[in-house]
Structure 1
Amino acid sequence: MSVKVFDTKEVQDLLKAATNVGSQDGGARAKQIVNRLLGDLFKAIDDLDMTPDEIWAGVHYFNKLGQDGEAALLAAGLGLEKYLDIRMDAEDKAAEITGGTPRTIEGPLYVAGAPVRDGVAKIDIDPDDDAGPLVIRGTVTGPDGEPVAGALVECWHANSKGFYSHFDPTGAQSDFNLRGAVGTGSDGKYEFRTLMPVGYGCPPHGATQQLLDVLGRHGNRPAHVHFFVTSNNSRKLTTQINIEGDPLIWDDFAYATREDLIPHVVEKTGGTALGMKTDAYKEIQFDIELTPLIQGKDNQLVHRLRASASA
């Protein structure tokens, strides 16, 4: 049996000193969190009898994770982002908030600053021979079921290679390709004219896939489209839809799939009149129901570092 030192006075004093607990200096909340996390790590080292080699392998891994800029991607892949959604779902249930379009993870690839159009936006800036035309349209309603005027619907997704503009390693995409935003009118309607996305995989030589390989997991996502929806009198919605029929819908490495977020894909004609690349196109109807503010406040706003650019 390995030695156990976590509960000794020496280690407990070290933990207090390292996190400056008991001092008036520093941030009380930060010290509380770091003390708990560092203490849990110390105890895990004891309980699992981790070796110095394993600890330093972990330290070097975090160096690579930072160098690759994949911390947010790993947060999705290890279920951390999904866990936060589970907690927010539970908070809504406790507050007896019902209805509303389900939330799901934001992911790491949003870019602020997309041009805002009235009602309809054509967001396929770059040609893509391997992607067919797609229309995503719907109505934004409030808790009362009435259309919401002045809502901002933001949309972003990958191209047929699985790459997002601003993050495309090939450099082939224009700024804000397959990204856009529309403001709803009095009828609450929005529409995006775009191209059919595909799923993507983690960078094969990146830190996230390195860890997933050790865990015996893949790093792939089904085809999906992200949304932010905001309104002055409702809580912000962060969600995404999966493309019906994708084989990875229920095997998403980021755990973002929800039953109510797999809308039906309909074959349509008349795309030429809509300015699309072919007359035949696919359409997804995705109606969005927002939920009420809590005592006049939006408790769904998440403050995190996000990319931004000028359109």
Structure 2
Amino acid sequence: MSVTICDGKDVQDFLRVVANLDGGGGNERAKKIVHRILSDLFKTIEDFDLTPDEIWAGINYVNKLGSEGEAALLAAGLGLEHYIDLRLDAEDKELGITGGTPRTIEGPLYVAGAPVAEGKARLDKNPDPDAAPLRIHGTVTGPDGAPVAGALVEIWHSDSKGFYSHFDPTGRQSEFNLRGAIRTGADGRYEALTKMPASYGCPPSGSTQTLLNLLNRHGNRPAHVHFFVTTDKFRKLTTQFNIEGDPLIWDDFAFATREGLIPHIVEKNDGRSVGFDEDAYRDIEFNLELTPLVHGKDNQVVNRARAAA
């Protein structure tokens, strides 16, 4: 079609009407945001001379994305979640906040309501002969290095097939398998006995992978373990570490890898003494340093839709 009308008065006036910029009521911030998004969208349509077929293909894609529940997955794959972290990093720099365990993306697979244990928890509820035993432990500290008592350390990760409980299409995992919440004691320590996670990819026929294919990008993640750390004394920490040696560590489709989040794995043989059913296991020490509240408030709490059980 190759016409240029976007910058003309008729279209610009139309955009103001669509967003009701000049009308009363409503939410002024929402009006401005919708106006900006639509203006950029109309300009994109014009600049790339999109056909009606292409526009409706995009709308159909959004419908499919929503029906599959993959919007949060796509947000990670297109770097939106990582961009949020970059903005939070820059905000911390302006506030003069330094140190702390690096933040990184939450991802779409957290489930609220995991049972809380004191100090130590066993997370593997189902047998998984393809996964080696894994002990994760460390100390939660504040900015001064002192241990933080009463911190809630939530942990979740995949099984050896790359599936998470509550989202496993095979239905073989029990509720809260490989998920847990641990309350630190006076020493600030936490310990989790679990199984080694595996790398995994986006659903191959899902909307996220469909778009990644158009970009000639893979949709795979290295093996990793997620963390929330929450306390009323410091800011909430959202992070994850990658399993050392995974070939995808620096090629994560979700852009979650950050320096300081690849702890060393130690092979050990005293498993029964720490609570495993066998002697050989892998040991990861992952200490968690929290950062101070901002004017007495936690500005790291993100409100988003999450699964609960």
2:236 paired with 1:239: no
Give secondary structure in 2 for the equivalent of 1:283.
strand
1: CA distance between counterparts of 2:24 and 2:139? 52
Deviation at 1:46, TM superposition (A): 1.3
Amino acid paired to 2:280: A
CA displacement 1:13-61 (0-9 Å, x = unmatched): 2211111112222211211111111111011111111111111110111
> One-letter code of the match for 1:215?
L
Alignment of 1:16-165 (within 5 A): 16-165=16-165
How much does 1:178 deviate?
A: 0.2
Distance in 2, matches of 1:155 and 1:139, equals: 14
What secondary structure sits across from 2:200 in the alignment? coil
Q: What is the distance in 2 between the residues matched to 1:53 and 1:226?
A: 41
Q: Structure 1 stretches (4+) deviating beyond 6 angstroms? A: none
Residue equivalent to 1:215:
215
**3-state DSSP of counterpart to 2:268:** strand
Structure 1 range deviating more: 16-25 or 175-184: 16-25
| Residue identity in the other structure for 2:22 | G
Give CA deviations for 1:110-136 in whole Å, capped at 9, x if unaligned: 000000000001000000010010000
Distance (whole Å) between structure 1 residues aligned to residue 277 and residue 86 of structure 2: 40
Gaps of 5+ in 2: none
Question: How far apart in 2 are the matches of 1:225 and 1:238?
Answer: 11
Post-superposition CA distance 1:274-301 (Å, at most 9, x none): 3323211000000010000000001101
| Match of residue 286 from structure 2 | 286
> Which stretch shifts more, 119-128 or 264-273?
264-273
Segments of 5+ residues of structure 1 without an aligned counterpart are none
CA distance in 2, matches of 1:9, 1:278: 74
1:134 is matched by which residue type in structure 2? L
The letter for the 2-side match of 1:72 is A
2:193 counterpart SS class: strand
| Aligned residue number for residue 180 of structure 2 | 180
Q: Which residue identity does 1:229 align to in structure 2? A: V
Partners of 2:24 and 2:298 lie apart in 1 by 32
Cα RMSD over matched residues? 0.9
SS of 2:260's partner is helix
| TM-superposed deviation, 1:4 | 1.1
| Distance in 1 separating the partners of 2:162 and 2:91 | 34
Give the aligned length: 309
CA distance in 1, matches of 2:304, 2:33: 18
**1:130 is aligned with what amino acid?**
D
Task: Tell me how far 1:273 sits from its aligned partner.
Answer: 2.6
Cα shift readout 1:140-195 (whole Å, capped 9, x = no counterpart): 00011100000000000000000000000011100000000000000000011000
Q: CA deviation at 1:303?
A: 0.4
Q: Which moved more, 1:268-277 or 1:105-114?
A: 268-277
CA distance in 2, matches of 1:171, 1:257: 29
What's the % identity of the aligned pairs? 69
Determine the C-alpha separation between the residues in 2 that align with 1:40 and 1:117.
Answer: 49
Structure 1 counterpart of 2:188, one-letter code: G
Q: Which amino acid in structure 2 is aligned with residue 162 of structure 1?
A: G
Aligned pairs (5 A) from 1:257-268:
257-268=257-268
TM value normalised by structure 1? 0.98
- Residue identity in the other structure for 2:259: E
The secondary structure found in structure 2 opposite 1:209 is helix
Residue 272, structure 1, aligned to residue 269, structure 2: no
**How far does residue 200 in structure 1 lie from its aligned partner after superposition?**
1.1
C-alpha distance in structure 2 between counterparts of 1:31 and 1:166, whole Å: 38
Relative to the length of structure 2, the TM-score reads 0.98
CA distance in 2 between counterparts of 1:111 and 1:30 reads 30
